[in-house]
Amino acid sequence: MSSDNDRKTPVEIAVARHRRWWLAVVVMLLLALVYYLVFVNQYVVAFKSQSEHFMHGSIGSETATGPPYWVFKALPVMYADKLGPEGWARFGFLYEKPGDDLPIGVSRRVVSGVERVWLNCSVCHVGTYRLSGDPVRHLIAGAPSNNLRLQEFIRFFIDVGRDPGFTANTLIATIDSPKVGGDLNVFERLIYRYVVFPRVKSAFLDLGTQLDFVKRQEDWGPGRVDTFNPYKALQFNFPMDEAHISGAALNGSSDYPAIWRQRPREGMNLHWDGNNDSVAERNLSAALGAGVTPVTVDRASIARIEDWMWDLPSPPFPVAAKIDPAKAAEGKMLFMHYCADCHGFKDANDYSYDRQRFTRLGKTVPLADIGTDAGRWTSYTANFAAEQNLLYAGYPWRFSRFHKTDGYANHPLDGIWARSPYLHNGSVPTLRDLLEPSAKRPSVWFRGSDEFDLAKVGYRSDQSAGGDLFRYDTTRPGNGNAGHEGYRYGTELPTAAKDALVEYMKTL
């Protein structure tokens, strides 16, 4: 029984009520802080220069797709038996200098308090070359990636997800190992064991389910990508089993394109098959392929990259002294006759993209006329175009210009020397080979070397070339090297005339 002495005085009651009020305020603030850290907190590392932003800046792919930074760092150590000492470079990822923390094309973003990493535009659009006898590897920003082995990269993640040895214990132990240097504290280890690992494992398993069709495809090899089939599966859940997709549509792998001088390309038919004429839509679509979603896309970041590549100049031929001016002058006249109407022309001042003057520039050529491999064209369907045009519905930047075409598009050839191999599927190793009829083009050759052949213009393609080589067989589905041949394409010219044409194209 309480006595009158136990009864709280009005002052004590007021003080207790005041304390409860403050306690409630503190709890609310803590909950708000937790909510901010877990559900709101996002930031990226900003880069002052546009070129650095292109190389390392986030476009928003980490939020829905990217693994945590420490998982990305740990995987090459956990699976050193598969990746070897190269680590991520095993899949063609590039580093600007030895010791860099992350490769070119892998950006960071803190999402819900966890630093995550994933791909940006540069992973597919930085090329390399070496000159004979020179060990220095030169990077070309905006050039097609000639090293990236994206299909093998995808298969690696699928295999990790299905590996019984990929457990929370092994992951945490690897992160904390000296080779990775994570040094997780007790709280972080709990998060990794009960939150991060289950989500990563589940994501890898889901990837294996959605992209299971990849195991039925021909090997893409370095510098090639199946642009649209993974897109169909990941963005739209298209059925990709054998009953729903033909062998031809399944094997449409193509080379990455160059992305310099985009301003004069606005309004031309873009992509290999010319399925869109808006640079902005093409860029947003490509970002989806890199892992962003319509919800997570960072449009401001992509706009910076657009500004950068709008007037990015094409790279000059690496050894000007290796251009024969007399031959180039002869080749210029031939180029004007055989090539300019479809591809534009470089006069004394600059490359001309004038579509009034060059009437077929930026337009598609029917497949029956161009005669090149149909795989890439077949993989892009009218149904898929219709689905793409529903993306970003309700926003001013909603897609509206995707459409199925009848063939492949004629593109400007500025910087063509830096875009080998040639044709949309990269089936012809050098420009000189492309001027031969398909029966005389190499039928089996090797991709993967970045040693440059200054005479024939293209990467070395023989078995003795350095690098991690991939045997390219033009008889396999999607790899055909026929087409772009006959009188109109210069393949019936005399040898000296073909040599002169190549000499001129070095100057573009």
Task: Answer for the pair 451, 467: CB distance below 8 angstroms, yes or no.
Answer: yes
Task: Answer for the pair 262, 362: CB distance below 8 angstroms, yes or no.
Answer: no
For residue 2, pLDDT beyond 80: no
The edge-to-edge listing of strands for the beta sheet with 106-111 is: 42-44, 106-111, 114-119
Q: What is the mean pLDDT of the chain?
A: 93
For residue 330, pLDDT beyond 60: yes
Looking at residue 418, its pLDDT comes to 97
What span, in angstroms and rounded, lies between the C-alpha atoms of 501 and 438?
18
For residue 119, pLDDT beyond 80: yes
**DSSP classification of residue 233:** H
Q: How confident is the model at residue 4 (pLDDT cuts 50, 70, 90)?
A: low
Looking at residue 25, its pLDDT comes to 86
335-356: average pLDDT: 93
168-178: average pLDDT: 96
For residue 77, pLDDT beyond 70: yes
What span, in angstroms and rounded, lies between the C-alpha atoms of 37 and 40?
6
Looking at residue 295, its pLDDT comes to 86
Model confidence pLDDT, tens digit, residues 190-221? 999 999 999 999 999 999 999 999 989 999 99
| C-alpha gyration radius of the chain | 27
Q: Of residues 191 and 430, which shows the higher confidence score?
A: 430
For residue 42, pLDDT beyond 80: no
For residue 37, pLDDT beyond 70: no
For residue 43, pLDDT beyond 90: no
Q: How confident is the model at residue 392 (pLDDT cuts 50, 70, 90)?
A: confident
For residue 487, pLDDT beyond 60: yes
Looking at residue 40, its pLDDT comes to 64
In terms of phi and psi (left: phi > 0; alpha: psi -120 to 50; beta: otherwise), the region of 7 is beta
**DSSP classification of residue 218:** P
For residue 14, pLDDT beyond 90: no
What span, in angstroms and rounded, lies between the C-alpha atoms of 63 and 335?
48
Task: Answer for the pair 18, 24: CB distance below 8 angstroms, yes or no.
Answer: no
What span, in angstroms and rounded, lies between the C-alpha atoms of 369 and 484?
8
Phi, psi of 184 (to 5 degrees): -70, 140
Closest CA to 479 of 226, 246, 258, 270: 226
For residue 352, pLDDT beyond 60: yes
β-pairing, 470-473 vs 444-447, is: antiparallel
Q: How confident is the model at residue 38 (pLDDT cuts 50, 70, 90)?
A: low
Looking at residue 342, its pLDDT comes to 97
